[in-house]
Structure 1
Amino acid sequence: MKRLIAGVVLGVGLTAMAHGAGDPAAGEQNAAVCAACHGQGGAKPIMAVYPKLSGIGEKYLYRQLVDIKAGDRPIPEMTGLLDNMSDQDLWDLAAYYNEQEMVVGQADPELIDRGQALYRGGNMASGVAACAGCHSPSGAGNEPAGYPALGGQTAGYVAQQLKAYRDGERAAGANAAIMMDVASKLSDSEIEALANYVSGLN
């Protein structure tokens, strides 16, 4: 009997972890203001340097919203937008966007081979780790670890963020140290190839 109860408790706990702490329906009600920049459902931002929010991971997105609200990750365009949202509101927003489908773009064929080699194998000569190790070979990310899904993300945004990590401009968050170390070893041309490859990955 004890084993049965333990199994039920474990199963419920794992289900809760899989689904996260947010309510997507509640999050949708607060997402209207986000659509002005990130597009309906977070899938089609109005500018390539704005991220797609759809399907990137509830835990990751929640952490970013917390950092943005606290001012640890300054984003001028979002100043004040999260001030009146509770912690649960942020979880709900993250859950809503995580349930939306990522729209994958078309990568530049001329850069795919180099981008794929870097994403899957890194660069042994310069010590760049393979992106696939944390973000998965398919670009689906790692939700329990809070590593975002990258497949389909806009190339402009990915390139901008890699440069921000490399230059020390993006230093907030649990995984920032990892990303800053990886990005510090990337050249501009490698960043361009990686960002392009990710934009078409599915």
Structure 2
Amino acid sequence: MKNKLLASIVSAGLMMSAASTMAAGDAANGEKLAAACAACHGADGNSPSPIFPKIAGLGEKYLTDQLKQIRDGSRAIPEMAGQLDGKSDQDLADMAAFFSSKTTQLAGAKEGELKLNSGEVVSTLSYGEKVYRSGNLETKVPACTGCHSPTGQGNAPAGFPRLSGQYAEYIEKQLFAFRTGERATDGEARIMRSVAEHMSDAEIKAVAAYIAGLN
């Protein structure tokens, strides 16, 4: 079962890579268009608060896709309501190019302890690293490295975002949203929903904490 899930992830990545060519973004123009984004995401895409995600360095293809989904309403984010109205596909590509050209600042990982479903108490970061790098064969959770790389840099051409340095609170929130189906922006392949549906609360919290300091 694990091999089948991994195979589907790889296949999805190849299909995304082979998708129709996206218009190249103009970072210089994107900087002008993204001026209003600074209030929440920071002037360079490094949000000062975990309430809002860091979007610096996430990858141009991924960001363009997410911006389109937010603009078109398929990804509903109340705080983004109306922010992208009137923006063309090229405008969004330009904005994505600008933020993707910036360097992500690490949020920093915080150590702690978690109680697993078995009752065992483990180190949050050690357990998070184990799940991120090896997955969990028993619960059918694949390693995160397959799509997001061992260092969390992602796979920009395939549209898999950088995770390294993202706020733990944001990663945790998104994994829970994928698990419940509240977030369905992973396309017909359902890559993230297929992964998150098998993750326990402890696995989600541990992975999110580990990613915040991954580099």
Alignment TM-score, normalising by the size of structure 2: 0.82
Q: Distance in 1 between matches of 2:108 and 2:176?
A: 22
The aligned residue for residue 33 of structure 1 is: 36
Is residue 189 of structure 1 aligned with residue 202 of structure 2?
yes
| AA in 2 matched with 1:49 | I
The 8 Å contact of residues 165 and 176 in structure 1, kept in 2 or not, is answered as no
The 8 Å contact of residues 20 and 58 in structure 1, kept in 2 or not, is answered as no
Q: Name stretches of at least 5 consecutive residues in structure 1 with no aligned partner.
A: 1-16
The 8 Å contact of residues 141 and 195 in structure 2, kept in 1 or not, is answered as yes
Q: Name stretches of at least 5 consecutive residues in structure 2 with no aligned partner.
A: 1-20, 113-123
RMSD across aligned C-alpha pairs, in angstroms? 1.6
The aligned residue for residue 61 of structure 1 is: 63
Q: Distance in 1 between matches of 2:26 and 2:167?
A: 26
The 8 Å contact of residues 64 and 92 in structure 2, kept in 1 or not, is answered as yes
Q: Distance in 2 between matches of 1:58 and 1:191?
A: 26
Q: Distance in 1 between matches of 2:65 and 2:88?
A: 13
Secondary structure in 2 matching 1:34: helix
The aligned residue for residue 3 of structure 1 is: none
Percent of paired sites with the same residue: 51
Q: Distance in 1 between matches of 2:40 and 2:51?
A: 10
Q: Distance in 1 between matches of 2:148 and 2:65?
A: 16
The 8 Å contact of residues 64 and 173 in structure 1, kept in 2 or not, is answered as no
- Render the CA deviation track for 1:22-60: whole Å, top value 9, x for unaligned: 0111000011111111112111243x1311000010000
The 8 Å contact of residues 27 and 93 in structure 1, kept in 2 or not, is answered as yes
The aligned residue for residue 17 of structure 2 is: none
Is residue 101 of structure 1 aligned with residue 103 of structure 2?
yes
The structure with the greater share of residues assigned to helix is 1
- Render the CA deviation track for 1:95-117: whole Å, top value 9, x for unaligned: 00001110012212342111110
The 8 Å contact of residues 128 and 209 in structure 2, kept in 1 or not, is answered as yes
Alignment TM-score, normalising by the size of structure 1: 0.87
Q: Distance in 1 between matches of 2:177 and 2:197?
A: 10
The aligned residue for residue 10 of structure 1 is: none
- The one of 21, 41, 46 aligned to 1:43: 46
